């Protein structure tokens, strides 16, 4: 076999032999694809994906440190030359053609190959390990379009990740080893013993949390599949469900735990709890804000190889439908994993069907488990999956943990609301928008403001200050948007919540009397005169609540079932036809349609010297994964109108030619955030 190479390090001159690369990709891809039963497909991908590097022209260009021609089209075309079975060549061809770009829509593949005009005759076939017999012997994917699409995405993900990791190992050496799940369980068990009070009475809040934890551990032995966990706010579900996930993974040979939460702001607290228990090195905290689909930053893309992942539901579901190689490469890691979805009912209604479908596919094909955790009662059934409730009697548990009652104030002004908050020694107001929160806080003496215009490092600092004052029984008043509603372990004696979606109101109640400091506390609901309500599914949910509030018993565990019946009657649960596009193998169209939230733009805040150094690194060149992770502390999201205004007013500028990241150059206040 001639001395073919797969790549050359331009700095050191070191060359990676072609066969070494193919073998390395095959080994990894087979391992990654195995949970989905796609080992044979993965091996053939490995043998085909870089055949376009074998022609003499490509080899000479690389050896001379020149830019070589694209190699992926030759690999895709060669498959068609060798095999006439389109059930084999089309899926493999899509993966091979797109492994440095994206999984294209199936109808576009022939014309893309034709346009590239690949010279397959220049390929040394004896060096490829490809032949008609091997290709024809491959078992085809399922005939159902949606199942084919899912498995092809998992194959693409596994193979792209394998290719990137082998290339990375050649240039940078192997990645670090993570602690095993056995080691993490030992750390968790030791930490949990210190945290729990075994002497707590069964009816106390600590006693109820102990009961929840025991039931979660008892359920860990159940066979993998689909679970629900109905745990009221304040029930300690962050820890209890991690206990379930670790024990469940260990008992059934699963690889990792993925915790997905509804808001970026919640990640900070959950990941902080887990890092304190397991150590920084074991937990990957992955915000949607920090993922830039840019070739320049490809090396920094997370591939979710850590044993514990904390991410957002946006990141999770958009990755599962992703077509771009850099975003899709992590999706296969969800096979043979325990996926814990926190507050599933927070998913936007317009993508509910595609979300449920892909979860059922993970249960069917991925050999892992999905846990839908909620403080309220609506349960989401998955096609073909038998849901098992982890908590033995959710209704009785909710009654035992009832800590608040609700009063509706009707329509009031911002000033009236501020005066009410000012009358309390300690209190919380949650508004539907940043605009309303800013209007209210102007009329409150010495109040904290929590919004997403603050970067995460300042949100965390402010929340820590608030907690300290609450514990010291000092005066503390807070005006916030809904970012405080989930994942923030905090307890006020009184709370006010603008009428919004029912689950949001109940989540605000979870920040009131959380530790049962008093027998019962009051959560006041209100409607603001001239208030601003976010568009989309949030506004629909707000309208449903407002129209039915007099009929809803917010203390009942069944209220969200009633709410969701009313809500789903007004929402198209696959508004952009993601499932139809996916079933037609229109991968790019499906990925573009699968937007859980309106796409915003990440904006970096030069808050301190660390942020300055990170931004300088971005300006001048390559950025490491650890630097991107560090940058997340300094990122906020701006949406279309704010982006246009900030650019027009000179308050922000684009970093780099890709226009994927903004740098804030306007005023930034560490207590109020960016000033727009």
Percent helix, strand and coil across the chain, each rounded to 5?
50, 15, 35
Residue 433 contacts residue 548 (beta carbons within 8 Å): no
Give, for 340, the enclosing helix (H) or strand (E). Answer: strand 337-342
Map out the domains of the chain as residue ranges: 5-172, 181-398, 403-554, 601-674
**Domain 181-398, second-level architecture:** 3-Layer(aba) Sandwich (3.40)
Residue 402 has pLDDT above 60, yes or no: yes
| pLDDT tens-digit readout, 209-230 | 999 999 999 999 999 999 999 9
pLDDT of amino acid 377:
63
Tell me the CATH number for domain 403-554. 3.40.50.300
Residue 289 has pLDDT above 70, yes or no: no
CATH 2.40.128 fits 5-172, yes or no: no
Residue 288 has pLDDT above 70, yes or no: no
Which residue has better confidence, 21 or 486? 21
Of the candidates 256, 316, 262, the residue with the CA atom closest to the CA atom of residue 282: 256
Residue 391 has pLDDT above 70, yes or no: yes
Alpha-carbon dihedral sign for residues 71, 75, 76, 81: positive
Mean pLDDT of the chain: 91
pLDDT of amino acid 141:
93
Residue 473, CA distances (Å) to 19, 199, 430, 447, 492 in order = 68, 26, 21, 15, 10
Residue 144 has pLDDT above 50, yes or no: yes
> Where does 309-378 have alpha helices with state H?
313-320, 325-328, 352-365
Residue 293 has pLDDT above 50, yes or no: no
Same fold? 181-398, 403-554: yes
CA 71 to chain centre: 32
pTM, entire model? 0.90
pLDDT of amino acid 511:
93
Partners of 341 in the beta sheet?
260, 372
Residue 290 has pLDDT above 70, yes or no: no
Per-residue tokens: 236: 């300690």
Residue 585 has pLDDT above 50, yes or no: yes
Residue 422 has pLDDT above 60, yes or no: yes
Q: Mean pLDDT lowest for which of 69-73, 224-228, 565-569, 612-616?
A: 565-569
pLDDT of amino acid 295:
43
- Residue 93: phi, psi to the nearest 5? -65, -40
**β strands within 26-184, DSSP E:** none
pLDDT of amino acid 653:
94
Residue 674 has pLDDT above 60, yes or no: yes
Residue 521 contacts residue 424 (beta carbons within 8 Å): no
């Amino acid at each position: 076999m001639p001395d073919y190479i797969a790549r050359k390090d331009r700095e050191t001159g070191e060359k990676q032999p072609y066969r070494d690369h193919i073998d390395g990709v095959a080994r990894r891809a087979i391992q990654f694809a195995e949970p989905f039963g796609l080992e044979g497909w993965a091996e053939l991908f490995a043998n085909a994906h870089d055949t376009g590097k074998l022609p003499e022209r490509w080899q000479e260009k690389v050896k001379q440190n020149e830019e070589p021609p694209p190699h992926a089209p030759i690999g895709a075309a060669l498959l068609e030359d060798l095999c006439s079975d389109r059930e084999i060549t089309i899926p493999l061809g899509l993966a091979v053609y797109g492994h440095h770009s994206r999984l294209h829509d199936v109808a576009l593949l022939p014309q893309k190959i034709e346009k590239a005009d690949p010279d397959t005759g220049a390929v040394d076939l004896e060096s490829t390990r490809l032949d008609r017999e091997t290709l024809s012997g491959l078992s085809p994917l399922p005939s159902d379009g949606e199942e084919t699409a899912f498995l092809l995405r998992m194959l693409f993900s596994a193979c792209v990740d394998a290719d990137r990791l082998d290339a990375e190992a050649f240039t940078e050496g192997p990645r670090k080893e993570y602690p095993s799940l056995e080691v993490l369980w030992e750390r968790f068990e030791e930490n949990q013993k210190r945290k729990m009070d075994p002497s707590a009475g069964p009816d106390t809040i600590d006693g109820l949390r102990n009961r929840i934890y025991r039931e979660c551990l008892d359920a860990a032995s159940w066979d993998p599949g689909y679970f629900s966990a109905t745990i009221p706010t304040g029930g300690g579900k962050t820890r209890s469900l991690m206990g379930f996930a670790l024990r469940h993974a260990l008992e059934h040979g699963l690889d990792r735990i993925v915790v997905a939460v509804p808001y970026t702001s919640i990640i900070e607290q959950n990941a902080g709890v887990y890092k304190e228990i397991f150590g920084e090195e074991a937990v990957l905290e992955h915000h949607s804000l920090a993922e830039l689909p840019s070739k320049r930053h490809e090396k920094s893309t997370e591939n979710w190889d850590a044993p514990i992942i904390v991410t957002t539901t946006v990141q999770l579901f958009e990755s599962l439908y992703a077509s771009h190689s850099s975003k899709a490469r992590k999706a296969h890691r969800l096979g043979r994993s325990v996926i814990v979805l926190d507050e599933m009912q927070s998913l936007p209604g317009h993508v509910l069907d595609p979300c449920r479908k892909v979860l059922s596919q993970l249960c069917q094909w991925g050999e892992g488990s999905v846990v839908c955790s909620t403080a309220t009662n609506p349960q989401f059934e998955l096609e073909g999956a038998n849901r098992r409730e982890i908590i033995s009697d959710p209704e009785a548990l909710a009654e035992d943990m009832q800590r608040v009652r609700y009063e509706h104030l009707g329509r009031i002004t911002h000033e009236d609301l501020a005066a009410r908050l000012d009358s309390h020694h300690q209190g919380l107001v949650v508004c539907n928008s940043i605009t309303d929160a800013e209007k209210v806080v102007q009329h409150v003496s010495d109040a904290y403001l929590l919004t997403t215009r603050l970067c995460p490092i300042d949100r965390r600092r402010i929340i820590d200050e608030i907690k300290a004052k609450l514990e010291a029984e000092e005066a503390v008043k807070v005006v916030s948007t809904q970012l405080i509603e989930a994942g923030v372990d905090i307890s006020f004696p009184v709370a006010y919540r603008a009428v919004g979606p029912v689950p949001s109101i109940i989540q605000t109640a979870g920040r009131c009397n959380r530790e049962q400091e008093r027998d019962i506390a009051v959560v006041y609901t209100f409607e603001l005169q001239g208030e601003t309500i976010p568009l989309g599914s949030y506004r629909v949910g707000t309208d449903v609540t407002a129209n039915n509030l007099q009929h809803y018993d917010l203390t009942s565990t069944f209220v969200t079932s009633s709410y969701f019946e009313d809500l789903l009657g007004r929402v198209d649960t696959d508004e952009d036809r993601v499932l139809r596009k996916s079933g037609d193998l229109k991968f790019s169209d499906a990925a573009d349609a699968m937007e859980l939230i309106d796409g915003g733009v990440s904006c970096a805040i030069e808050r301190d010297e660390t942020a300055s150094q990170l931004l300088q690194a971005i300006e001048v060149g390559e950025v490491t994964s650890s630097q991107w992770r560090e940058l997340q502390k300094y990122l906020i999201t701006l949406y279309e109108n704010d982006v246009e205004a900030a650019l027009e007013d000179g308050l922000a500028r684009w970093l780099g030619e890709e226009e994927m990241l903004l740098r804030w150059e306007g005023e930034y206040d560490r207590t109020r955030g960016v000033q727009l």
